[in-house]
Homo-oligomer: A and B are copies of this chain.
Amino acid sequence: MMTVLLRNADEKSISRLSGSLGKKGLKIVGMEKMGKTHALIETGAISIATQPQDVELAAEPKCSKQFRLASREMSLGDTVVKLNGGVEVGGRQLALIAGPCSVESEEQLLQTAIEVQKAGAQILRGSVFKPRTSPYDFQGLGVEGLSILESIREETGMLIETEVMEPSHVKLVEPFVDMLRIGSRNMQNFELLREAGRSEKPVILKRGLSATVNEFLLAAEYILSEGNPNVILCERGIRTFMTETRNTLDLNCVPLIKALSHLPVIVDPSHGTGKADLVLPMSKAGIAVGADGLMIEVHPNPKAALSDNAQQLTPSQFADLVKKCVPVANAVGRTMRSE
């Protein structure tokens, strides 16, 4: 039995593929709609195809009953998310995302951007919408922060990612950023996942505080099944009995996900530990275990930050981190941009 997946396929392309498969002696025995994607159930091959001509053949497919589009069984190889400027997530070179927890001002973001870019980061983290436990805490600059993101992108040429917290944010931020981020608290905000699935922008999906890997991949499936193939999974620590660290960074999950799924995985040791001192060693560990990139919180003056003071690095600590991670990346066959 083979399954061919057609993303965003119209009637015409489905019928064209069906014909071309027929010419190869394959008969379509069924079809299943998964969001905007169609699965043509056949004999002999599996592929994720955006165009019927992309169909390729693989032996002995076993389609997982739960996550399908996210499953390694449904893919011929690892997904590499391609961004502007030749930046990739999931390729040989590690992706390095850095920036402040929250955008606080243009000055703060620009200073951070210049320094993290120089140190090796290709992508700037910058949240303008902040999910905060208390309604009385700083909630981010909101819509006003978007123009800051825009001007920093122009000035530095860096790629920019930002958090979306509700469905309406997706369209709102698209013009200003290169990637969307869905935070831990929203990993199962299914309307938000669906809306991100309708976007052209790649999506960084952070693991929920108490999500299993199965639940994590099924959340990705919500995005994939709407037609957006560019999902990057981010391990950022789970909630356990441990109170001496903010969260427990679960590196077990990186090779576990790699075995189950073709999607790229990055690691966020800033939230995963909650302690600036632990960010460097856990970054090395994240690279060694096989992650495709890191997301690190960097602030020009962590003590004065409006959120996450204890875990943000200074720009010079970040530059030092990159230098010390390069040999580890090389030791596991990866490269890393650095000063």
Contacts and interface: CB of A to CB of B under 8 A. Distances in A.
Interface of A: 34-35, 66-68, 131-136, 165-168, 185-186, 188-192, 209-210, 212-215, 218, 221-222, 225, 238-245, 248-256, 259, 272-273, 275, 277-278, 281-282, 284-290, 327-328, 330-332
A34 B221 CA distance: 38
A134 B67 CA distance: 8
Contact of A290 (B252, B281, B331): B281
22 contacts: A134-B218, A135-B218, A135-B221, A165-B191, A166-B191, A185-B189, A186-B189, A209-B209, A212-B241, A212-B243, A214-B244, A240-B250, A242-B250, A245-B256, A248-B252, A251-B285, A255-B278, A285-B286, A287-B288, A288-B289, A327-B330, A328-B328
A118 to B, nearest CB: 23
Number of copies: 4
B243 A240 contact: no
Contacts of A254: 281
B249 A252 contact: yes
Nearest to A272: B252
A41 B68 CA distance: 47
Nearest to A278: B255
Contacts of A288: 281, 284-285, 287-289, 328
B248 A248 contact: yes
B244 A241 contact: no
Contact of A35 (B135, B253, B275, B331): B135
Nearest to A136: B34
Nearest to A269: B252
A250 B275 CA distance: 15
A251 B135 contact: no
A252 B273 contact: yes
Given A238-B240, A282-B289, A285-B288, 16 more contacts: A34-B135, A135-B221, A165-B190, A166-B167, A185-B189, A213-B242, A213-B244, A248-B248, A248-B250, A255-B277, A256-B275, A281-B289, A281-B290, A284-B288, A287-B288, A328-B332
A94 B133 CA distance: 30
Contacts of A331: 327-328, 330-331
A109 to B, nearest CB: 23
A210 B250 CA distance: 15
B132 A190 contact: yes
B277 A259 contact: yes
B249 A242 contact: no
A330 B67 CA distance: 39
Nearest to A246: B252
Interface centre among A221, A252, A281, A285 (most CB of B within 10 A): A252
B244 A238 contact: no
A210 B209 contact: yes
A240 B251 contact: no
Nearest to A273: B252
A138 B213 CA distance: 21
